[in-house]
Amino acid sequence: MPEITVISGKGGTGKTSVAAAFAKLAPDPIVCDLDVDAPDLHLLLQPKVVEVHEFRAGRTAAISVADCTLCGDCRERCRFGAILATATGFAVDATACEGCGVCAHFCPAGAIALSPRMAGHWFRSRTDAGPMIHAQLLPGAENSGLLVSVLRREATSECARGGRDLIISDGPPGIGCPVISAISGTDVVVLVTEPTPSGLHDLERAAELCAHFARPAGVIVNKADLDEDRSAEIERLCARRGLPILARIPFEPVVVEALMAGLTMADLGNHPVADAIRHGWRNAHALAGGGRNSPASSPT
């Protein structure tokens, strides 16, 4: 099934706005928010949660006071300083424990057990655009790459259950582990950028990541007319890397007003911004093998 993943080399380029608009334009999609560290697709799609699931990742040690002989071996071995001497014996500081298991391995009394750590929740929801799979990590929790994998697996299951064959994902920003987890095996990566110095730099890094993992990709230039010279630089970068420009979205203050009202760019009727995002969607869908026409550069 085609899976289209929208990412950007950094946050704040309009990635989620593009993903939300694609979700509205796509025929019968599963929508997935893979930006698990700072999810915000729900602000635009207003999901109604149907199921809540715990996400456990990593391990935390715990000491059985009843079994502990107070030898102190675990405290000496823990290089994270997670074992505390308290008035009632030794105890594990769960916030400092990295779950390495050294203490449990060497404890002569077998008094230490490791258990899965609660790291957040993932949700199965309904939206006007279609079913949505999303999540929320607990503050300070790690393993976001693993949670991204869980969401993608659940989105695939949801597709099979509902007889759908298209996944639209709002990926994480940057080029770290969660992004790699989000784009590995996806059919098309949509790179959203803007004509600023950091936009150009971060597009180069994200494009490099896609090339490294051999993922087909195309570019949407948001606020394209804000700096024509910088937009021309983006186009030269895309030409050099063989990346199609899927759409050029003009800068229009009405977009911010629409987003604040919970609307997407696709909801703007005959506005040039809506025309541009529809053009971008058709090109991205075609690149994913979901349309008959090859992607073409947009005149917008």
Q: Decide: is 98 part of the binding site for ligand SF4 (CB under 6 A).
A: yes
CB of 288 to ligand SF4, least distance (A): 43
Which of 21, 57, 61, 246 binds ligand SF4 (CB under 6 A)? It is 61
Of 96-104, 163-171, 200-208, 283-291, which part binds ligand SF4 (CB under 6 A)? 96-104
Cβ(111)–Cβ(67) under 8 Å?
A: yes
Of 73-81, 152-160, 164-172, 232-240, which part binds ligand SF4 (CB under 6 A)? 73-81
Contacts with ligand SF4: how many residues (CB under 6 A)?
27
Cβ(133)–Cβ(158) under 8 Å?
A: yes
Instruction: Please report the sign of the dihedral spanned by the C-alpha atoms of residue 289, residue 293, residue 298, residue 300.
Output: negative
Q: Decide: is 138 part of the binding site for ligand SF4 (CB under 6 A).
A: no
Q: Decide: is 100 part of the binding site for ligand SF4 (CB under 6 A).
A: yes
Which residues 6+ apart lie within 8 Å of 83 measured at CB? 63, 74, 75, 90, 91, 92, 93, 103
**What is the C-alpha separation between 151 and 178, in angstroms, rounded?**
11
**What is the C-alpha separation between 282 and 295, in angstroms, rounded?**
8
CB of 66 to ligand SF4, least distance (A): 11
**What is the C-alpha separation between 241 and 270, in angstroms, rounded?**
33
Name the 3-class secondary structure at 286: helix
Which of 38, 43, 53, 69 binds ligand SF4 (CB under 6 A)? It is 69
CB of 143 to ligand SF4, least distance (A): 16
Q: Closer CB to ligand SF4, residue 92 or residue 167?
A: 92
Query: What is the contact surface with ligand SF4 in residues (CB under 6 A)?
Result: 61, 63, 68-74, 78, 80, 82-83, 90, 92, 97-103, 107-109, 111-112
